Structures are given as C-alpha cells and as structure tokens.
Amino acid sequence: EVQLVQSGAEVKKPEESLKISCKGSGYSFTNYWIGWVRQMPGKGLEWMGVIYPGDSDTRYSPSFQGQVTISVDKSISTAYLQWSSLKASDTAMYYCARGSYYDFRDAFDIWGQGTMVTVSS
Amino acid sequence: QSVLTQPPSVSGAPGQRVTISCTGYSSNIGAGNDVHWYQQLPGTAPKLLIYANNNRPSGVPDRFSASKSGTSASLAITGLQAEDEADYYCQSYDSSLNTSQFGGGTKLTVL
C-alpha cells in the first residue's frame, strides 16, 4: 500500500525550532515529488513547496521562501519540514503529499494524515 | 490571497447536480496549466478527486467530472449524496508567481 505517515502533533513556544517528518512507503520514494501544504485553523489549503528526493531539487512558494526549509533523507524515505524560529502564526495543520514522478506542478495523489503544530507561549 | 477564486459555498438537494467554479488568470489556468481538484471531508486530509483538468483517479465515482475553458475551470457533481458534503479545492500552477496555488475552497452543503 502506498502511504505517507507523518510525525505526531507538536506544541512549541515562539522562537523555538521544529522539524516534522513524512515517511513514504509502498513506492519508489526517490522518484516522486513530495510537497508540503499548510492549513491554518478554519482556513483553506496553501501550497508551501515541493522537493524531489532523487536529487533534492526544491521549489518554494514565494510566500514560504525563507520561512521554512524542506529537506529529505532518501536513505530512510523521509521528507522534512523545518522551522528555525516558530511564530504563533505558524499554528496550523501541515500535510505532506506525493506529487508526480516527472513534474512538480502535477497533482498530489497521496496525502499524509497531517501534523498539527501549535505555537503558543 | 489566492489567484484562483472559488465561491465560498454551494448547496444542493440529494440527487441534484451542482457545479463549483474556479476562476483564474492568463498566468495560470489561461496559460494552459493543468487544474486539479480535491475533496476534503470534515476532519480529514484532502483527497485527489480530479487531476489534469478532467481525469479521475481510480476509485473516484463518475458522478464527479470537471472541465476547463479559457481562464476558468469547473467541477460538477451529479446525483448529489449526503456523503459529498465537504470542502472542495482547485489547484493550478501560476507561471508568473512560479508556484502552484490552491483556490480558496468551496463548502458544499447537501440540503
């Protein structure tokens, strides 16, 4: 079964750092783009960026460039989303999702279950 | 603020047909970039409903269809069922912004 399993919910304080993960299984992890999507409480979906595990080619939305870091460890089929200094406005559900094997603009066909990040003093 | 505009809400009675529009610009839908549609049931992760304008992944009922014309796209749901009550999102790449974007989402209520 093709699936993406994300790390568990996090509660952090402002200015703390955080790295959440997304582990793929059931397919050739290195050959498909992996994306991250933010959903703030009660709001819509926001495309954050994608990474190609095969060569770590990464594309960010201008809205998230410089605010987060997307990375991957292909040896363990895991993608990451990282913050160096969290803000209260980072409170949201974060989803990872699998893109296509040849174009980062393609649809996300498999989604993780989501990781809830709460930032509060 | 997304460059893809969806109506905040639509509604229909069981058995009826509803459509959800996704209006873009010449830099995204109008540039020939593909449009994808997702369904998000309450409290769950989004699910791919339509990819590349009008293609259904395996397992998606043929009650769901989509089309694209000019700078707009639309999702149609026929034979509306209570289980279709969800949020629906369109997605497309914007060549000017160099990023993909989702529409603001449309809440479908089955009356």
Q: What is the pLDDT of residues B30-78, one digit of tens each?
A: 999 999 999 999 999 999 999 999 999 999 999 999 999 999 999 999 9
| Inter-chain CB proximity A44 and B89 less than 8 Å | yes
| Inter-chain CB proximity B105 and A44 less than 8 Å | yes
- Give the integer Cα–Cα distance in Å for B60 and B57: 6
Q: How does pLDDT run along chain A (121 residues), one tens digit per residue?
A: 999 999 999 999 999 999 999 999 999 999 999 999 999 999 999 999 999 999 999 999 999 999 999 999 999 999 999 999 999 999 999 999 999 988 999 999 999 999 999 999 9
Q: Is A42 on the interface with B (CB under 8 A)?
A: no
Look at residue B1 in the predicted model and tell me its pLDDT.
67
Look at residue A102 in the predicted model and tell me its pLDDT.
83
Measured over the CA atoms of residue A101, residue A106, residue A107 and residue A112, the dihedral's sign is: positive
B50-B54-B55 Cα angle (round to 5): 60
- Give the integer Cα–Cα distance in Å for B80 and B12: 7
| Inter-chain CB proximity B46 and A47 less than 8 Å | no
- Asked if pLDDT for residue B90 goes beyond 70, the answer is yes
| Inter-chain CB proximity A47 and B100 less than 8 Å | yes
CA distance B91 to chain A (A): 8
Chain B contact probe: residue of A57, A101, A108 with most B CBs at under 10 A: A108
B98 secondary structure, DSSP code: T
Whether residue A86 contacts residue A62, with contact meaning beta carbons closer than 8 Å, is answered with no
pLDDT tier for residue B2 given thresholds of 50, 70 and 90: confident
